[in-house]
Amino acid sequence: MKLLLRSVRIIDKASPWHNQVKDVLVEHGTIARIGDQLEAETAQVKEGNGWCVSPGWVDMRVASRDPGFEHKEDFRSVREVAARGGFTDVLMLPNSRPVVDSKGTLNYIRQELREQSVQLHVAAAVTRQAEGVDFTEMIDLHRAGAAAFTDGEHPIQNADILLKALLYLRPLNTLLINRPEDRQLTIFGQMNEGVTSTLLGLKGMPHLAEEMMVFRDLQLLAYALEKNDFEPGTEKPLLHLSLLSTARAVEMVREAKKKGLPVSCDMAAHQLAFDDTAIQDFDTNLKVNPPFRTATDQEALRRGLADGTIDVIVSDHSPHDEESKNLEFDHADFGITGLETAFSLALMHTGLAVEEVVAKLTSRPRQILRLPAVSVVEGSAACLTIFEPEAEWTFTRSYSKAKNTPFLGQTLRGRVHGILNQGQARWF
């Protein structure tokens, strides 16, 4: 494949061409030349007014549902929606059926890792069946290719399990991901606990449920490192807290980072699109976990993104079939699909400049997951996303098997035109 991207703005802080409009020539999956008015015989030429190119985007939180729930999403469809969302790499949660808690299941999924434009990285479970009771063979799973460890959609409730997991994983230089939620406090919860939940008569999910677990996890991280030759600020993140949603949770992570603890965190792109008052129509497409919080929490999330406390933006892609969502609100499953809209929502609602949004989709998740660095420089592999940040588009159709998104029919800003990866190109 020979491809010439003409007059594209390069968005990559690690590249000497950052924020410059250049031609980019790709040959045989490698960036061959970057310059002005390049010519290349037989090359396919792509040019668009206002187009940008960046390293390929990474999503750290995707529920693929395959194996076991292929009627909701499978490897083919998750790759399709990821590509259309601009993602060249996705980290898949282990909550399939069977759970990714053995080398057999892991190897089955890794058969899908052959060269394609969207690379699937597999997170293995910390505990068997992700039930929070007995450990998996984490060392074997790591050697078999697990990209990280997490019980995924099931927060780790047992403090001893989380502590020992940190101790086991540190020598392996790999990552433990946990979503902070005390499920004793959120049992039967449907939305954020507050004035709106009271008015609607719905059981609330209090801020405290998240904040207690953030505090616990950070204390356990500090304890695990206390007597293990730890020098603050010297290690890659060992603990990653996923889907922060409250102001106090963000502040606790900020304080932990100032102390040099090896912790990172993310938030979902959709978390800033609505607050808890949007639930008044009982639209089950707005039922997510963590729930949409208050305007005060949203402003704290924006500050956390701006000052670097929140490292990564994720889609939290959670596909469900019609039977799981077209129900009374208190019976519907949590989650929305997010891969196709994550970039647009991040641009529209975070208040970040486009280069900052891109950094939270590229360099930071790669560093945290220990993936090879990718940059728009001559001689490097062409793992690229091509997009137009100022373009508006109407989300008229989802290519996911699931349709549980509140954004269908909406006009969004920030359009993806294509991705290049593993010598393959996809254009939209």
Fold type of domain 2-52+379-391+408-427: Urease, subunit C; domain 1 (2.30.40)
As annotated, the active-site residues are 316
> For position 404, what pLDDT does the model report?
97
Token representation of residue 273: 């699109």
pTM of the model: 0.96
> For position 229, what pLDDT does the model report?
78
CATH number of 56-369: 3.20.20.140
User: What is the rounded CA–CA span in Å between residue 184 and residue 192?
Assistant: 15
Contacts of 279 (CB under 8 A, 6+ apart): 191, 196, 200, 202, 286, 287, 292, 329
| Fold agreement between 2-52+379-391+408-427 and 56-369 | no
What is the residue type of 417?
H
Other CB atoms within a 10 A radius of the CB of residue 158 amount to 12
Return the HEC string of the chain: CEEEEEEEEECCCCCCCCCCEEEEEEECCEEEEEECCCCCCCCEEEECCCCEEEECEEEEEECCCCCCCCCCCCHHHHHHHHHHCCEEEEEECCCCCCCCCCHHHHHHHHHHHCCCCCEEEEEECCEHHHCCCCECCHHHHHHCCCCEECCCCCCCCCHHHHHHHHHHHHHHCCCEEECCCCHHHHCCCCEECCHHHHHHCCCEECHHHHHHHHHHHHHHHHHHHCCCCCCCCCCCCCEEECCCCCHHHHHHHHHHHHCCCCEEEEEEHHHHCCCHHHHHHCCHHHCCCCCCCCHHHHHHHHHHHHCCCCCEEECCECCCCHHHHCCCHHHCCCCECCCCCHHHHHHHHCCCCHHHHHHCCCHHHHHHHCCCCCCCCCCCECCEEEEEEEEEEECCCCCCCCCCCCCCCCEEEEEEEEEEECCEEEEC
> For position 113, what pLDDT does the model report?
63
pLDDT tens sequence across 375-401: 999 999 999 999 999 999 999 999 999
The residue among 105, 61, 65 whose CA lies nearest residue 87 is 61
> For position 286, what pLDDT does the model report?
98
Q: Is 266 left (phi over 0), alpha (psi -120 to 50) or beta?
A: beta
Q: How many CA atoms lie within 13 A of 275 on its CB side?
A: 13
- Residue 209 to residues 183, 272, 290: CA-CA distances in angstroms? 7, 20, 10
Which residues of the chain fall below pLDDT 70? Answer: 112-115
What is the residue type of 392?
E
Going 412 to 414 to 417 to 418, the CA torsion angle's sign is: negative
User: What is the rounded CA–CA span in Å between residue 23 and residue 36?
Assistant: 6
> For position 112, what pLDDT does the model report?
66
Token representation of residue 50: 């206002």
How do the domains of the chain map onto residue ranges?
2-52+379-391+408-427, 56-369
Site of tokens 């759970």: 99
